[in-house]
A and B are shown apart, each in its own frame.
Chain A
């Protein structure tokens, strides 16, 4: 069966597209799927550092498209997970180096080798966004519960739907349950009511993302962190499994922790 092309996009920058791509790649590979993460952000490549593979780049996406390297030569195999691969972006070129047709053609080849092709789209709605969405079977929109991110997500959803693609699915990232509880952050229901697309995952804000990115070890390599567990659940949903959505509780306050400690004695 040919692989699926999933494009991760958002409109607004800095909402977690690259982190999401890296972690979904890790999570799918951990479940035995053959995965390639494709960095489509030509000129501003970052998926390599988030995945911790920056020292192993020889050839890149543009080298493959222009015929300077074979696909096999440019693909980087992750030593931690035998099924996980990276196709890095070119750093010294810009978004005009690739066309929609070239990306569609490249994905025809990748579909034969992999179960999942995850494309990390650049921010914005210009050329880079367009060639990232062109080959997609499914589009995942990453949004944070903030007005600017939700507004841009709405614009991106409209653009995807106007291109005869299936309606995108939504990942709500960096949710802070304690703020939602206080009524100081949009909650999942608010965002879904406004954007009116299907939800595929909720990822809570988690400091572990920063420390893991510092080290180049995506959180989904382990089950311990809340964000890592959330990405693993999204991966299961992408594989067609029915996984209930988690209800996040804010972390216990000092009194609550003291009470628990007292009871445990």
Chain B
């Protein structure tokens, strides 16, 4: 089946796979922060912000971003009201 997938262009090229895997593994190598720590951080951020404003807890994203060789912690926190349909 593998060759059929390749013929029809469905399997990703291995260079792209390599690049994606490297970006993930390096984000971890560079920060020395484990997935558990990141999850705990996310929970605390949610609880602190929820005390003051209503947020959409299900769609909070906490991750690392990078510009050149500097790592940044990026939190994307949608507000609860923003999900309500506008009239």
Residues of A within 8 A of B (CB): 146-147, 150-151, 154-155, 157-158, 161, 167, 180, 182-187, 190, 194, 196-197
How far does the alpha carbon of A158 sit from the alpha carbon of B68 in the complex, in Å?
A: 12
Q: B13's contact among A154, A157, A184, A194, by CB below 8 Å, is which?
A: A184
In the complex, the chain B residue whose C-beta lies closest to that of A185 is B15
- Of the candidate stretches B23-31, B33-41, B54-62, the one touching chain A is B23-31
The reply to whether A196 and B15 contact each other, CB–CB distance below 8 Å, is no
Inter-chain contact total with CB atoms closer than 8 Å: 45
In the complex, the chain B residue whose C-beta lies closest to that of A161 is B69
- Chain A residues with CB under 8 Å of B16's CB are 183
The reply to whether A182 and B13 contact each other, CB–CB distance below 8 Å, is yes
- The verdict on B21 contacting chain A, using a C-beta distance below 8 Å, is yes
The reply to whether A151 and B13 contact each other, CB–CB distance below 8 Å, is no
Interface flags for B46-84 (1: CB within 8 Å of A; 0: not) read 000000000000000000001011000000000000000
How far does the alpha carbon of A185 sit from the alpha carbon of B22 in the complex, in Å?
A: 13
In the complex, the chain B residue whose C-beta lies closest to that of A184 is B14
The reply to whether B15 and A190 contact each other, CB–CB distance below 8 Å, is yes
Q: B26's contact among A146, A167, A182, A194, by CB below 8 Å, is which?
A: A194
Nearest Cβ in chain A — how far from B19, in angstroms?
Answer: 5
**Interface majority SS on B: helix, strand, loop or mixed?**
helix
Q: A147's contact among B13, B18, B66, by CB below 8 Å, is which?
A: B18
- Using known A-B contacts A161-B69, A196-B68, determine if residue A190 contacts B19 with beta carbons closer than 8 Å: yes
| Chain B count of residues within 8 A CB distance of the other chain | 16
Q: B19's contact among A155, A157, A194, by CB below 8 Å, is which?
A: A194
In the complex, the chain A residue whose C-beta lies closest to that of B67 is A196
- Chain B residues with CB under 8 Å of A151's CB are 22, 25-26, 29
- Using known A-B contacts A155-B29, A158-B30, A161-B69, determine if residue A150 contacts B22 with beta carbons closer than 8 Å: yes
The reply to whether A194 and B29 contact each other, CB–CB distance below 8 Å, is no
In the complex, the chain B residue whose C-beta lies closest to that of A150 is B22
How far does the alpha carbon of A58 sit from the alpha carbon of B67 in the complex, in Å?
A: 50
The reply to whether A187 and B15 contact each other, CB–CB distance below 8 Å, is yes
- Using known A-B contacts A154-B26, A154-B29, A196-B68, determine if residue A147 contacts B21 with beta carbons closer than 8 Å: yes
Nearest Cβ in chain B — how far from A201, in angstroms?
Answer: 20
- Chain B residues with CB under 8 Å of A154's CB are 26, 29-30
How far does the alpha carbon of A53 sit from the alpha carbon of B16 in the complex, in Å?
A: 42
Nearest Cβ in chain B — how far from A70, in angstroms?
Answer: 42
Nearest Cβ in chain A — how far from B55, in angstroms?
Answer: 33
- Chain B residues with CB under 8 Å of A146's CB are 18
